[in-house]
Structure 1
């Protein structure tokens, strides 16, 4: 590194920053230093990089910690604290960042007092190293007016895969979660599992919920493969549509993301789990009695921090040519909304 600094006519610290694509160094200077490093066949020592990360977590004063930006990309400014899913991502981001010696500065993308130019200026003034983007729930695209920021910083998205720009992301594995939930339903003796889902959510995750459901149906006899109910759940005809679907498909258990499905069943005269079981595809601690899949979205947040730090170590910025994904598996949680089904053969044996 000293040879690079000598030839470039800069300090060793400037070389270190340039090789990490740190925006504190002007872009032309970074490119010149990086070109010299390539010509001199410079390679970062991974052991040294790991040691420096370790030193940061154990000995760096609180005020000097490297800082990451935690971007609230949701339209609602309170989404980090008042949302069924997003706070779990944030919890994991904060925990993992603290463990690794990083501090987090929070920004709301839809703050009326912030535009792209001002946000860029604030990020640079605060020495923000990379960006964790949390809260995309209605679409999987980032606002185009902030494109300069996505181009300038290492970025990782949580929860969804983005397009234009396509950025590396961490997410729960929606496909495998639905598949595993289906398998648990079959183990409990259910034979006609159904799926109730909001169309916007399934589109947001590129159909991975419904794809997992249809994949799990493949081993079943055709007469037991139900059509899922995927609709706009904000519409006024939701209950009527739900009732028609129940009568046509006759599910004995339902996978869903919505706690109000239980209320809808009760309003139509069905009891849970006596008549129809319910399995929550995003089990949450605030409804501990439900059976379902814990998505471990806090671990998604942790994975996002690990990914952004990896980008910092490798000096990568902007949308990558080949975006990477880290998928977190879920785990089954027992609950009173399902019960083991008794087969006809078991009934015959009992009698």
Structure 2
């Protein structure tokens, strides 16, 4: 069995991940035009996209192409900033040696570049504050390793699952850490204090983090936790659903364009003031639930006293879609109208 660090499935070698027309095209060309050489280039249409997935693509070609050494491959490095219509990858060789992988290459680059680009935008919006990648809950589990790597290319360094850091080779990236789920509080019949006591006894080395939105009364519950655990409490986390308004804000009439539902700026400011006035200014605030680059920008522009942002589904939102085009035939221009060969001085020889 052929193996590699990305665990490519043997079904790839049996064409099971290929669209049928790629299989038919490979068969026709191999039978009737076996010596023709094509040049294929790949691009996308998003401004300032963060390229990710190129190393995976090169390994995929090595895995699936029996004549890999005969291919000429030029590519941009991981993490490159790319713009619309700019070639990021160019491959020259016989179609039957690589061209059938067009759709799979598009998919890898589209997914991973989208994740990297979203991650970079989120990190930029956070302005140096910690961002916790909580994408495990937002997508199917077997994407975690590739999404984690792509998110890393976008600048994220904090993750919640071991799978998310499997492909990341960087000692600066620490082992995953997390807080507590609502399920732990529920298991203690809604008794947050009791749940925290047992959390602390079971994991004495882990920072103590109170999830304070279980009763939709964040400030009351945060202050109870502060008073119970004093200096041992390091963080409170607010994860209020966007269809709810915390009890502390329900009698407030919102100003024009002011949001009070969910994890709102007003709620976090009120929470910070309440903890500071009670003498617990050392307790930091983590927020999650519906955060993306836009929402983080809003919080930062209004100086919301957030210390850590937890982000999930916004990380994998598709924003970059790649297309592969055959642009040269035996070294001569031959391409679909509007998809002609584009020169690039940035491409680096890979093979």
TM-score (norm 2): 0.29
TM-score (norm 1): 0.29
